[in-house]
Structure 1
Amino acid sequence: MTVLSGFLPIWAITAVGWAAGRYDVLGKQAQSVLGRFAFAFAMPALLFLTLARADVSRLATLGLAVFAVSVLVVFAIGLLLGRRVFRRRPGDRAIGAMAGSYVNSANLGIPVAVHVLDDASFVIAAALFQTLFITPLILVLIDLDAGGSATRERFRRILRLPLHNPIIAASAAGITVAALGWQLPHAVTEPVRMLSGAAVPAALFALGMSLNAGRGGKLPPAGEPRPRPGGAGAQEPAGPPPRSAALPVGGSLAPGPGGPSGSSALVQKPAAPPPPGGRLAQRPAAPPRPAGPLAHKTDAPPRPTAFQPVARRAERQVLVALKTVVQPLLAYALARWAFGLDGHDLFAVVLCAGLPTAQNAFIFASEYRLDTALARDTVLMSTFVSMGSLSLITWLLA
């Protein structure tokens, strides 16, 4: 019960942040500004101090290996489901797999580690693994879907990613200080310590505000085009036209009247009159085609359109289950029976694996013009579900 009480301040601050966002107490930009402050300043300060005082040998542990295997296995399951079951394009498969396996190690993981585990070193090591190995894998898969001439530049961005991430940079600096055995003066550590004190409340408050992100939002209706990664104006049709849309008699692809120059539209040219006394003039008009076994294939709308809302809801539920149920259970099985972990090490691995989906999934989907609704809804749903699942994990294993 004492360990469970560590969640009370976490959920309380998150709830206050949600209320502030719900009733617009701090303005429209507050969540973005507060989140950036936590990510760029407060959280790096906390990680730097934690790692500078840590034992470097404790970062590479069997627990981290278990966590890595669980992430990779669930990520592969997400890719397979996206291809075989939900018929997603490659870029959206990567976003779905990320939503089902990539843990929120910063905004929620570090506060949970500080208040429940009393040590953030394992969660920091997990965050480093995700950023240095899983993130480049996701970006490569998205890039393969986007294609185009920007491929080389995007690979350069992938290679530069750790250098532009303040959390990774601060963690690397802290590990360097610890490995070299440096003792930093009080004049240096004190302002960093004061700044680090804002990391947990700022991150949790911003997390709570972000839970209002999907309020009022909805999925795009079936049949509407959606943007492709190639550019802001490039669009992909949501599905093929019905088979009943056939080319009219005498029709051709030609510039449509009143349309832009050079555009092509389907216009109907008047049919030439048949020659007098010719075969065409004597042939009677074909009778209407009787309804038969194949009539539904011509007259009915495409199947994906009718079942798309149901499939989308099912996909979100499956991804949330992967993240909050399958991944911690897999981590428990691997840690307990494959790697022989128990006690606090087992608890830390399972708790970290049970963290909800990171907001990075929504950021990547927005950046590359993929399915933002899928990422957004999975982040929100997994965060709400994790409030109960993390408490259950703590009650069972702490």
Structure 2
Amino acid sequence: MSALVFWKLAAIFLIASLGWIVGKLRWLGDGDPARTLSNAAFYIFVPALLFRTTSRIDFAQLDPALVLAFFLPVLGLMLGVYVAERHRNRGGRLAVAAPSVRAISAVFGNTVQVGIPIAAALFGEAGLAIHVTIVSLHALTLLTVLTFLVEVDLARERHREGTGARRLWRTLATTMRNTIIHPVVLPVLAGLAWNASGLALPPVADETLATLGSAVVPLCLVLIGMSLAYYGLEGTARAAIGLALLKLLMLPALVLAVARWGFGLTGMPLAVIVVMAALPVGSNALIFSQRYETLQAEASATIVFSTLAFVATGSLWLALLAALD
């Protein structure tokens, strides 16, 4: 693990610790300021980041084999966790959104703050280009799929007693509207539409969106600490550790198997996407849980546990990749 990566991880813990102090001492008041900050991130800063990212994707540079080799196992594990959690939650022990929150916690990596410096340090400019290509589709793909799933679950819960065709169509229409008119999906669709137009963003718009998007990482890290202070870790450790292990061990193993033996990838492209899959859980898992007011403490704990453990598991995957060369 390079010194650059180590200091990046140290900075993550320091910023999250600051959030914990702010929450513990109630510097922002006695209500629920974490919820307010989460809404600001979800409705202002994250949409700006997503719109700018998707409007600038260069689809001509996307290697279909790399994209499929990464996203097929990621989506497979995500849907597997979602289905398993829905099965476990048939009795309604947890909130309706719990399966989706646990699914995102098992697969959504910290691809920017930790991932970009790792890719740059380990693989140079060529490897960073591959990493950024996957990053450009990461949130777009995972958040859009999970938003659809959770909105379907919520619609099913709201209308579970309705059986008539009229009620069914109303439910479907509401679900589609809530999925599209959503602070994650709508800016992605708008960004893709702008991308398809072939127009460059006006400089003032690009600078505005870049400034808003730059607030996402520090705000989310502070939120992680505040959530730990407000919600604590009681009753969350077992599930959080299990999800962290899925993210740090099972997901990169699946990506390695699919990429190497399914698509025949070797060398640096293989290493880049395996390391990307092995990254600790990203803060979007917490933002997603805050959005649906479900398992916030567990999502925060999963991020913290996975980031701590990544120092060891990341080195393990790098050693394994070196042995496979």
**TM-score, normalised by the number of residues in structure 1:** 0.60
Alignment correspondent of 2:148:
136
Structure-1 separation of matches of 2:109 and 2:254: 23
Deviation at 1:387, TM superposition (A): 0.8
Q: Work out whether residues 52 and 176 of structure 1, in 8 Å CA contact, stay in contact via their aligned partners in 2.
A: yes
Q: Work out whether residues 115 and 279 of structure 2, in 8 Å CA contact, stay in contact via their aligned partners in 1.
A: no
Structure-2 separation of matches of 1:319 and 1:67: 18
Structure-2 separation of matches of 1:95 and 1:354: 24
Q: Work out whether residues 49 and 192 of structure 1, in 8 Å CA contact, stay in contact via their aligned partners in 2.
A: yes
Unaligned runs of 5+ in 2: 120-127
Unaligned runs of 5+ in 1: 220-311, 367-371
Relative to its length, the structure with more helix (as a share) is 2
Aligned ranges 1:268-279 → 2 under 5 Å: none
Alignment correspondent of 1:380:
300
What one-letter code is carried by the residue in structure 1 that aligns with 2:83? L
Alignment correspondent of 1:359:
286
| Matched residue SS, 2:257 | helix
Q: Work out whether residues 43 and 199 of structure 1, in 8 Å CA contact, stay in contact via their aligned partners in 2.
A: yes
Q: Is 2:283 the counterpart of 1:340?
A: no
Instruction: Assess, with a 3 A threshold, how the Cα gap between structure 1 residues 9 and 33 changes in structure 2: closer, same or farther.
Output: same
Deviation at 1:45, TM superposition (A): 2.2
**TM-score, normalised by the number of residues in structure 2:** 0.71
Structure-2 separation of matches of 1:166 and 1:34: 15
Structure-2 separation of matches of 1:91 and 1:156: 28
Structure-2 separation of matches of 1:125 and 1:322: 21
Q: Work out whether residues 347 and 394 of structure 1, in 8 Å CA contact, stay in contact via their aligned partners in 2.
A: no
- Note the alpha carbon deviations across 1:80-118, whole angstroms, 9 max, x for none: 4764xx574378597564344324888955433455446
Residue number among 204, 211, 225 corresponding to 1:208 in the alignment: 225
Q: Is 2:53 the counterpart of 1:36?
A: no
Aligned ranges 1:15-26 → 2 under 5 Å: 15-26=17-28
Alignment correspondent of 1:122:
134
Question: Which deviates further from its counterpart, 321-330 or 345-354?
Answer: 345-354
Structure-2 separation of matches of 1:81 and 1:104: 12
Q: Work out whether residues 54 and 195 of structure 2, in 8 Å CA contact, stay in contact via their aligned partners in 1.
A: yes
Instruction: Assess, with a 3 A threshold, how the Cα gap between structure 1 residues 175 and 56 changes in structure 2: closer, same or farther.
Output: farther
Structure-1 separation of matches of 2:190 and 2:62: 15
Structure-2 separation of matches of 1:41 and 1:185: 19
Deviation at 1:61, TM superposition (A): 3.8
Which structure is larger by alpha-carbon Rg, 1 or 2?
A: 1
Alignment correspondent of 1:79:
83
Alignment correspondent of 1:248:
none
Q: Work out whether residues 354 and 390 of structure 1, in 8 Å CA contact, stay in contact via their aligned partners in 2.
A: yes
Question: Which deviates further from its counterpart, 316-325 or 25-34?
Answer: 316-325
Instruction: Assess, with a 3 A threshold, how the Cα gap between structure 1 residues 325 and 12 changes in structure 2: closer, same or farther.
Output: same
- Note the alpha carbon deviations across 1:8-55, whole angstroms, 9 max, x for none: 333322222122112222223332222222222222223333333331
Instruction: Assess, with a 3 A threshold, how the Cα gap between structure 1 residues 330 and 213 changes in structure 2: closer, same or farther.
Output: farther
Structure-2 separation of matches of 1:327 and 1:34: 30
- Note the alpha carbon deviations across 1:241-289, whole angstroms, 9 max, x for none: xxxxxxxxxxxxxxxxxxxxxxxxxxxxxxxxxxxxxxxxxxxxxxxxx
Alignment correspondent of 1:290:
none
What one-letter code is carried by the residue in structure 2 that aligns with 1:132? T
What one-letter code is carried by the residue in structure 2 that aligns with 1:126? H
Structure-1 separation of matches of 2:238 and 2:219: 33
Aligned ranges 1:293-372 → 2 under 5 Å: 318-341=242-265, 342-344=267-269, 346-348=271-273, 350-352=275-277, 354-356=279-281, 358-359=285-286, 362=289, 366=293, 372=294
Alignment correspondent of 2:124:
none
Instruction: Assess, with a 3 A threshold, how the Cα gap between structure 1 residues 16 and 131 changes in structure 2: closer, same or farther.
Output: same
Structure-2 separation of matches of 1:353 and 1:40: 29
| Matched residue SS, 1:102 | helix
Alignment correspondent of 2:125:
none
Q: Work out whether residues 78 and 319 of structure 1, in 8 Å CA contact, stay in contact via their aligned partners in 2.
A: no
Alignment correspondent of 2:48:
45
Q: Work out whether residues 108 and 204 of structure 1, in 8 Å CA contact, stay in contact via their aligned partners in 2.
A: no
Structure-2 separation of matches of 1:191 and 1:36: 19
Residue number among 80, 88, 91 corresponding to 1:89 in the alignment: 91
Structure-2 separation of matches of 1:392 and 1:317: 15
Q: Work out whether residues 56 and 178 of structure 1, in 8 Å CA contact, stay in contact via their aligned partners in 2.
A: no
Structure-1 separation of matches of 2:201 and 2:84: 49
Alignment correspondent of 2:122:
none
What one-letter code is carried by the residue in structure 2 that aligns with 1:385? F
Aligned ranges 1:52-63 → 2 under 5 Å: 52-58=55-61, 61-63=64-66
Greater relative CO, 1 or 2 (CA 8 Å, sep 6+): 2
